[in-house]
Homo-oligomer: A and B are copies of this chain.
Amino acid sequence: MNETLEQLRASVDGIDSQLLELLSKRAELVHQIGQVKESQGVPKFEPEREKEILDRITGLNKGPFPDSTLKHLFKEIFKASLNIQQEDHKRQLLV
């Protein structure tokens, strides 16, 4: 493998570590949001808020991903976060 490929891959690894960190922080925040909502008795899933986030992201998008791809990736992130919240809820019910 030549040096350039090695270097590019090292950069990808660096970005991936940062992505992991941000995704984990995001999940913590969503968990806190879920707790605030629970204390206020409001529903955890709010489709309007999701739409707002997607509109914001595609508004900021300068490529190279097309908007449709970013929407797909962020929806997967939403789904993953919602799964954690549902696990939390199940755990609460079991306690």
Contact = CB atoms under 8 A, between A and B. Distances in A.
Interface of A: 2, 4-5, 8-9, 11-13, 15-20, 22-33, 36-37, 40, 49, 53, 56-57, 60-65, 69-70, 72-74, 76-77, 80, 83-84
A-side binding surface: helix, strand, loop or mixed? helix
Contacts of A5: 33, 36-37
Contacts of A73: 23, 73, 76-77, 80
A22 B15 contact: yes
A29 B57 contact: no
A25 B70 CA distance: 13
A22 to B, nearest CB: 5
Given A19-B23, A23-B19, A26-B19, A13 B77 contact: no
A84 B18 CA distance: 22
Contact of A84 (B31, B60, B64): B64
